[in-house]
Amino acid sequence: MAKLTPITVAHGDGIGPEIMEATLHILKEAGARIKIETIEIGEKVYLRGNSTGIEPGAWESLERTKVFLKAPITTPQGGGFKSLNVTTRKMLGLYANVRPCVAYHPYVDTLHPAMDVVIVRENEEDCYAGIEHRQTQQVMQCLKLISQPGCERIVRYAFEYARRNNRKRVTCFMKDNIMKLTDGLFHKVFDDVAKEYKDIENDHWIVDIGAAKLADTPEAFDVIVMPNLYGDILSDVAAQIAGSVGLAGSANIGSGAAMFEAIHGSAPRRAGQNLANPSGLLLGSVMMLNHINQSDIAELVHNAWLATLESGFHTYDIFAEGKSKEKVGTREFAQAVVKHLGKKPKTLKTVAYKSAPKQKVKALKVPKIEKKELVGVDVFLDWTGGNGLDLGKKLEAVKGGLLLYGISNRGVSVYPKGNSNTLTSDQWCCRYMGKGVLEYTVIVKLLSKLGAAGFDCIKTENLYNFDGKPGFSLSQGQ
């Protein structure tokens, strides 16, 4: 008997159990060589008082199998419930979120019949690093973290994905005209890595106009790689304009583990009625089969599913009078897919996974070490005593050993130059520079002088030059 690959399965909430049952039925009939371990996640676990939505024992199965097929769950609103998706991604180090968004014209209505886009979203960094602080009465802060190895890993993944899946081009979306350091790093790494993949075209778009182009002319794109937040938003947009969120599957890939799911949620209003479309989860499971080296079964299931779409057996969400042949429920749809096992689509593009080489991810480069020199400090104050000019005058009176270079509020310069139209909050960024390279102790001395003068220093950010180039942004108007 063929060796079975252990996988961990969670049936989830709402429509989850129905679509999981349908998916597992198809996988079994297709001969998937898997051994299922079931764990409980989601609403029941949350409501038992576990704020993570997953029992500690379930991690043991996930850590052992390293392959997770997950149905959607309901996250109770309010309370201190954490997103199980974010927790799982972080615990298992799932850095790449891959979402193919494909149109199935003429069988599923879409304005974009030729759409066939794969979104590769960075899954761990950016605003999702979860580093947020309340600093003053009026100001909350969320840190956007972008790292060189994080960028390199996701960009490499996107190019390797393109190569393995016979894709022609990888496009980068970012906003480095504004976020010159963070998105600038993403862009730079993209350009560097792209040079190693001469067989694959590359280009880049500023995310706002890129998003507009994607929504309007998605057929102009092939694989798109982007940082976390843009990817989160645009992968839903892409799935929806392809035809339906109910049709898209998603893979979350890490170096040691992976999670596969539908992109939609638990649709509680449709639960328990044998109505839901199991296609998103089924396509997630196809990605899982490829991941566990069962591309023969992945190909069999995917082609049977395409042939079923063509046959006109459609669940309510994609059913169209005159186009579809029969409106079917979740179970009947699954039975139709099983009947089509071994068949290939006639009009839609047949998929061929069997011969695809295994996706490689090269070891990350060791970046060049640049000379790092401390040249100044941004001191953030919680202060409500007047405007920027008032604060500037008061700070000039404190002789702290460093030059007060300028003050900004919400990123806009308010001292020495300012504008009376600028709305200011109670958080002020006061930039101090020295003459040449500084000793760390100079900053400590400055802070103690400011403290003694009654200022509330809420945080500092050291200013470094790297190989002589500033590693910090200027404020607007500076």
Options 149, 265, 312, 471; binder of ligand NAD; rule CB under 6 A: 265
Provide the pairing of β-strand 94-102 with 116-122.
antiparallel
**Crossing angle of helices 207-216 and 228-242, rounded to 10°:** 10
Q: Tell me which of 266, 285, 409, 424 binds ligand NAD, using CB under 6 A.
A: 266
* Residue 277 lies near ligand NAD (rule: CB under 6 A): yes
Smallest gap from residue 319 Cβ to ligand NAD (A): 10
CB 381 within 8 A of CB 428: yes
What is the bridge-based pairing of β-strands 5-10 and 34-39? Answer: parallel
Measured between alpha carbons, how far is 429 from 374 in angstroms, rounded to an integer?
18
For position 85 contacting ligand NAD by CB under 6 A, the verdict is yes
Closest distance to ligand NAD from the beta carbon of 250 (Å): 8
User: Any idea what the Cα angle at residue 198 is, between residues 196 and 202, rounded to 5°?
Assistant: 90
Cβ 43 to ligand NAD, closest distance in Å? Answer: 8
Judged by CB under 6 A, the residue of 189, 239, 241, 267 near ligand NAD is 267
Half-sphere exposure of 421 (CA within 13 A, CB side): 1
C-beta closer to ligand NAD: residue 160 or 261? 261
- Burial (CB < 10 A; 0-12, 13-18, 19+), residue 20, is buried
**Look-up: residue for tokens 């069999």?**
300
Min. distance of Cβ 273 from ligand NAD in angstroms? Answer: 10
Q: Is 285 in the site for ligand NAD (CB under 6 A)?
A: no
* 372-382 and 456-466 beta bridge pairing: antiparallel
Based on its alpha-carbon atoms, the radius of gyration of the chain, rounded to whole angstroms, reads 26
- Residue from 18, 125, 261, 378 binding ligand NAD (CB under 6 A): 261
How many binding residues for ligand NAD (CB under 6 A)? 21
- Of the candidates 231, 246, 392, 418, which one interacts with ligand NAD according to CB under 6 A? 246
Question: Chain-centre distance of CA 394, in angstroms?
Answer: 44
- Residue 270 is a binding residue for ligand NAD (CB under 6 A): yes
Stretch that binds ligand NAD, among 116-124, 156-164, 268-276, 304-312 (CB under 6 A): 268-276
- Please report whether residue 264 would count as binding ligand NAD according to CB under 6 A: yes
Determine the Cα–Cα distance for residues 431 and 21; give it in Å rounded to an integer: 60
Q: Rounded CA gap, 443 and 179, in Å?
A: 27
CB of 23 to ligand NAD, least distance (A): 11
State the Cα–Cα distance between residues 420 and 423, nearest whole angstrom: 8
Min dist CB 247 to ligand NAD, Å, is: 8
Considering only CA atoms, which of 152, 95, 156 is closest in space to residue 125?
95
**Which two tokens mark 10?**
């969670």
Beta carbon of residue 394, minimum distance to ligand NAD (angstroms, whole number): 48
Under the binding rule (CB under 6 A), the answer on residue 249 touching ligand NAD is no
Q: In this structure, which amino acid lies at residue 456?
A: D
Torsion over CA: 390, 393, 398, 401 (sign): positive
**Closer CB to ligand NAD, 267 or 351, in the complex:** 267
Query: 463 - beta bridge partners?
Result: 376
Nearest residue (CB) to ligand NAD, 227 versus 280: 280
Of the candidate spans 107-115, 260-268, 445-453, 466-474, the one that interacts with ligand NAD by CB under 6 A turns out to be 260-268
Residue nearest ligand NAD, Cβ-based? 265
Residue 280 as a binder of ligand NAD (CB under 6 A): the answer is yes
Strands in 233-293 per DSSP E? 249-254, 258-262
User: Quick one: CA torsion of 368, 369, 371, 375, rounded to 10 degrees?
Assistant: 110
Between 14 and 418, whose beta carbon lies closer to ligand NAD?
A: 14
Residue with token string 């003459």 = 435
Closest CA to 56 of 73, 74, 77, 39: 39
Q: Which span sits near ligand NAD by CB under 6 A: 127-135, 190-198, 264-272, 295-303?
A: 264-272
Round to whole Å and give the CA distance between 186 and 477: 25
Binding mask 201-240 for ligand NAD (x = CB under 6 A): ----------------------------------------
Q: CA dihedral defined by 447, 453, 457, 461, rounded to 10 degrees? A: -40
3-state secondary structure of 234: helix
The interface region with ligand NAD, picked from 150-158, 182-190, 257-265, 408-416 by CB under 6 A, is 257-265
- The interface mask with ligand NAD, positions 304-343, x = CB under 6 A, is -------------x--------------------------
Per-residue binding letters, 42-81, with ligand NAD (x by CB under 6 A):
------------------------------xxxx------
Give the nearest distance from C-beta 84 to ligand NAD in angstroms.
7
Question: Which residue, 43 or 152, has its beta carbon nearer to ligand NAD?
Answer: 43
* CA diameter of the chain: 83
Of the candidate residues 276, 307, 348, 450, the single one contacting ligand NAD (CB under 6 A): 276
Which residues of this chain interact with ligand NAD, rule CB under 6 A? 15, 19, 72-75, 85, 245-246, 261, 264-270, 276-277, 280, 317
